[in-house]
């Protein structure tokens, strides 16, 4: 019975789809001059989605069937099924039996394909399209991966002009670190006296102890960054000890950023980094800690509404890399860049010595426990994956992160809330992003299965809309 009804819906919607694609053309054929979140301009036109159950992750509930009217890229009206006149819309999408979820938000996403080795401009553009095809409609780019202030501005501009398919882009521009510090002297393997132009091209900028923070921040503001990313790190692991920003410098950066109404998000990897970050008043942690975070620190985060972005996908990728595991997951293989997948089969990067299965499990257990305890005391969560680290693929990794969060002990509703409303609050854009109310941007997923009953249902995408337009080539997996 259920199957029959679903089949009918799919057929009906298929008919409308042909009309919709024909009328709208490729994404962005229609332009407007209005400002909208993430620099994506709203296309003109209206679409009515009928009879869809809306997933309310924050209430762990789905609504009775609703009609959603999307006009000029925004949600204009939501009403019980049957209440909105289909003549009010240019197009109708029959979605009886389906579930609507706001588009996914990944707040730790470098622009790259998640494979090893150098990436071309085409690889980066492919990464942007791949986010959308997996239903990630908004990203925050925290420097690195070529994401300096100028490139961030350029990507935003090209995406806003619809030159290429991309999610809404927010970002920090170049991340701020100490000369020779992480990631310059660590994963990038550059000498401490490397010239600033090379560092900047890679997506970082250094700040020496005797340098003033104001000119740097003013320059970043001039190029339109949305927030500041700082690196509080004297390792990580194998590279310890490396130079890092002093506590005094961190405090100066946070104070001057807040005076400019810019949030500050911090890279951390150990509990003593978390302590320094909180002491300076940062607004979010871009990773977990590889050792247990004290409950007292977690309570501080909850009280002061400091966001936690656990990036479980990153750590899971480290483990895959240590054990030389090729990507086997069909849902990844179905949509991830072939270059990225092939590059990970490079023999040189496999079987790192000193890692045992037991050590990997113990490592994972700490990260899971940090997340569980953070949620238990009410720390605000946003989903972030650290895309473009090895095995952390654009878009796919958001679904993997949801699954890893649930494996760590969260409910599907908690994980989905982090991926939607949580990400929007992290970006201070909760009135327009991560929501399906009138006034919100029309970024949404139509799913064939309820993701609150099984988190893997986030993959059962039937359609993805960004700014009210259908995203072509969505990567879906039906249970």
C-alpha distances out from residue 444 to 130, 161, 167, 395, 437, Å: 16, 21, 12, 14, 11
Query: Minimum CB separation from Zn ion for residue 264, in Å?
Result: 15
Q: Which is nearer to Zn ion, 41 or 233 (CB)?
A: 233
Q: Which is nearer to Zn ion, 45 or 146 (CB)?
A: 146
C-alpha distances out from residue 317 to 66, 360, 387, 415, 469, Å: 39, 11, 10, 19, 33
Q: Which of 58, 61, 78, 60 is nearest to 69 (CA)?
A: 78
* CB-based closest residue to Zn ion: 386
Residues in the chain: 479
Query: Minimum CB separation from Zn ion for residue 389, in Å?
Result: 7
Query: Minimum CB separation from Zn ion for residue 314, in Å?
Result: 7
Query: Minimum CB separation from Zn ion for residue 191, in Å?
Result: 22
| Spatial distance between the Cα atoms of 168 and 139, rounded to a whole number of angstroms | 6
Count Cβ neighbours within 10 Å for each residue of 167-194 and write b for 16 or more, e otherwise. Answer: bbbbbbbbbbbbbbbbbbbbeeebeeeb
Query: Minimum CB separation from Zn ion for residue 73, in Å?
Result: 30
E strand intervals along 57-126: 61-62, 66-71, 74-80, 91-94, 99-102, 104-106
Query: Minimum CB separation from Zn ion for residue 228, in Å?
Result: 14
Query: Minimum CB separation from Zn ion for residue 430, in Å?
Result: 23
Query: Minimum CB separation from Zn ion for residue 373, in Å?
Result: 23
Q: Which is nearer to Zn ion, 13 or 269 (CB)?
A: 269
Q: In terms of DSSP H, where are the helices of 107-242?
A: 121-133, 149-160, 196-202, 214-222
Q: Which of 14, 45, 26 is nearest to 470 (CA)?
A: 26
Query: Minimum CB separation from Zn ion for residue 311, in Å?
Result: 8
C-alpha distances out from residue 413 to 210, 260, 376, 420, Å: 47, 35, 14, 10
* Residues in contact with Zn ion by the rule CB under 5 A: 386
Query: Minimum CB separation from Zn ion for residue 388, in Å?
Result: 8
CB 127 within 8 A of CB 153: no
CA quadruple 457, 460, 463, 464: dihedral positive or negative?
positive
Query: What region does 114 belong to: left with phi over 0, alpha with psi -120 to 50, or beta?
Result: left
CB 230 within 8 A of CB 249: no
CA quadruple 320, 147, 137, 424: dihedral positive or negative?
positive
| Spatial distance between the Cα atoms of 450 and 431, rounded to a whole number of angstroms | 24
Q: Which is nearer to Zn ion, 74 or 426 (CB)?
A: 426
Q: Which of 208, 201, 199, 205 is nearest to 218 (CA)?
A: 205
């Amino acid at each position: 019975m259920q199957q029959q009804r679903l089949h009918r819906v799919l057929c009906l919607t298929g008919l409308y789809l042909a009309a919709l694609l024909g009328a709208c053309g490729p994404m962005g054929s229609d332009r407007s001059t209005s400002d909208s979140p993430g620099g994506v301009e709203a296309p003109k036109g209206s679409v009515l989605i009928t009879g869809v159950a809306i997933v309310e992750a924050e209430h762990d509930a789905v609504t009775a069937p609703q009609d959603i009217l999307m006009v000029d890229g925004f949600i204009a009206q939501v009403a019980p099924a049957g209440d909105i006149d289909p003549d009010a819309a240019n197009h109708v999408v029959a979605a009886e039996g389906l579930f609507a979820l706001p588009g996914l938000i990944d707040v730790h996403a470098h622009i790259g394909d998640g494979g090893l080795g150098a990436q071309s401009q085409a690889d980066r553009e492919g990464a942007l399209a791949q986010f959308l095809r997996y239903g990630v409609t908004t990203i925050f780019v925290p420097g690195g991966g070529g994401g300096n202030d100028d490139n961030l501005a350029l990507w935003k501009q090209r995406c806003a002009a619809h030159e290429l398919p991309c999610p809404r882009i927010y970002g920090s521009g170049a991340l701020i670190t100490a000369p020779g510090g992480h990631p310059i002297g660590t994963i990038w393997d550059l000498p401490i006296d490397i010239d600033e132009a090379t560092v900047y091209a890679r997506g970082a900028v250094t700040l020496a102890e005797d340098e003033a923070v104001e000119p740097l921040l003013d320059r970043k503001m001039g190029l339109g960054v949305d927030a500041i990313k700082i690196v509080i790190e004297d390792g990580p692991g194998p590279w310890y000890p490396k130079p890092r920003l002093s506590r005094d410098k961190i405090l100066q950066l946070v104070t001057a950023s807040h005076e400019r109404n810019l949030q500050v998000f911090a890279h951390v990897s150990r509990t003593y980094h978390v302590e320094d970050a909180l002491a300076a008043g940062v607004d979010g942690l871009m990773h977990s800690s590889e050792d247990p975070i004290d409950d007292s620190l977690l309570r501080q985060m909850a009280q002061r509404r400091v966001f936690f972005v656990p990036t479980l996908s990153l750590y899971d990728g480290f483990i895959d890399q240590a054990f030389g595991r090729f990507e086997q997951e069909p849902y990844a293989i179905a949509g991830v860049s072939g270059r990225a997948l092939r590059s990970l089969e490079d023999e040189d990067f496999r079987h790192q010595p000193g890692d045992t299965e037991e050590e990997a499990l113990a490592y994972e257990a700490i990260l899971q426990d940090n997340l569980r305890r953070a949620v238990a005391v009410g720390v605000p969560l946003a989903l972030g994956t650290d895309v473009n680290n090895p095995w952390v693929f654009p878009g796919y990794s958001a679904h993997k992160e949801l699954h890893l969060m649930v494996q760590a002990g969260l409910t599907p509703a908690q994980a989905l809330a982090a991926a939607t409303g949580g990400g929007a609050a992290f970006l201070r854009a909760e009135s327009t992003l991560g929501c399906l109310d009138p006034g919100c941007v029309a970024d949404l997923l139509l799913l064939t299965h309820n993701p609150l009953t099984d988190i893997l249902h986030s993959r059962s995408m039937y359609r993805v809309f960004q700014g009210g337009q259908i995203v072509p080539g969505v990567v879906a997996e039906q249970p």
